[in-house]
Amino acid sequence: MSWLLAFIGFALLIILHELGHFAAAKWVGMRVERFSLFFGRPIWSVRRGETEYGVGWIPAGGYVKITGMNPHEPLPPEVAPRAYFRQPVWKRLVVIGAGPLVNLVLAFVILAALFWASGTVQSNNRVGEIEPGSPAAGILQTGDRIVAVDGRRGDLTQLTGQIARHRCPGAQTDGCEARSPAKIVIVRDGRERTVELTPRYDAEVGRPRVGFSFAVEPVELGPGAAARKSLDTMWEVTSATVGVIVRLFYSPEARDEVGGVVGSYEATRRSFEVDTERAVLILGLISLSLAVVNLFPFLPLDGGHIFWAIAEKIRGRAIPFSLMERASVIGFALILILFVIGLENDVDRIRTGELDPR
């Protein structure tokens, strides 16, 4: 059953994305020849008016075929005025931008609805998990309330930052001990006491730590707060997605962070086996990632079409189609490389069990 639910979820994301292009094209008066779920030869199709609706046999996306996407395409006089490249730039931007916009709106609605229904969690100033073998082990206890560090009070960021001020002498290497201990004021069993812990530098997070995490507590959210939380989450995911793709050009380590369709599908499927709410959350984040990746300025992605349409507007006349074709070869190569890297990482994660939500 999880396979079917994950498939339906992915199919809906594709259909809604392409439906955005389709509806916008119809709205601005362009001629839509075909609306297809998946690629390849249709295994099912039906014609309604001037548009053919079908399902391809390669389950790897979908497309909307608009008349005149190639300006050199010979067209009958009765349909030529409705061709894509015969339209003003603003209409082309509306049509191309509608697909990613649908994914953005869908992601926002899913996240906001989940946050409103289930709330979220926030950290408080109590000690949560304590790492074995860390400076905090054997001294702090779960439930201790952190009041101050080195006499300074504040929020969790300020308390953590004060601990991080205790640097190692010389070079900051993984596991090195700070020159001086942090004096941490805690409340335990209603009594205030001070403990001294010597932070160790953690290269993974890039700062000195004493080896504990703050506890979290559930928080209910109203519709307004849920909407803000949704936007904050979308911004964090967008920044992370863009950051990973940009770092691919100069950081070999970023390669391991890339995921693909296979991994996303498998993570969704396994989540349906454990928790439907978690699976819906993953679908919302995938919808957001689809929008972000599609907006990168490389043909044949939507962002590539937007880039060249804006370039035409700035230039004041049409961009040579031959130049766009050469650019699309480069863009397709980059997309193919990204797909191969993501597929390789997905296979490794499935094999090692990293995608198991349990």
Tokens (6 digits) for 335: 């997309």
Domain 121-219: which topology? Pdz3 Domain (2.30.42)
Of 68, 65, 69, 66, the C-alpha closest to 77 is: 68
Model pLDDT for residues 121-173, shown as the tens digit of each residue: 888 889 999 999 999 999 999 999 999 999 999 888 899 999 999 999 988 89
What's the DSSP call for residue 300?
T
Section 60-73 average pLDDT: 86
Predicted pLDDT of residue 357: 47
Model's pTM, two decimal places? 0.75
Domain ranges of the chain: 2-31+67-118+228-352, 121-219
Model pLDDT for residues 240-280, shown as the tens digit of each residue: 778 877 777 666 665 666 665 555 555 555 655 666 787 88
Section 19-23 average pLDDT: 95
Which is the catalytic residue, given 18, 177, 192, 204? 18
Known catalytic membership, residue 18 = yes
Going by pLDDT thresholds of 50, 70 and 90, the confidence category of residue 17 is very high
What's the DSSP call for residue 301?
S
Express as a percent the part of the chain with pLDDT over 90: 49
Contacts 24+ apart (CB under 8 A), 85-90: 85/318, 87/28, 87/29, 87/30, 89/309, 89/310, 89/312, 89/313
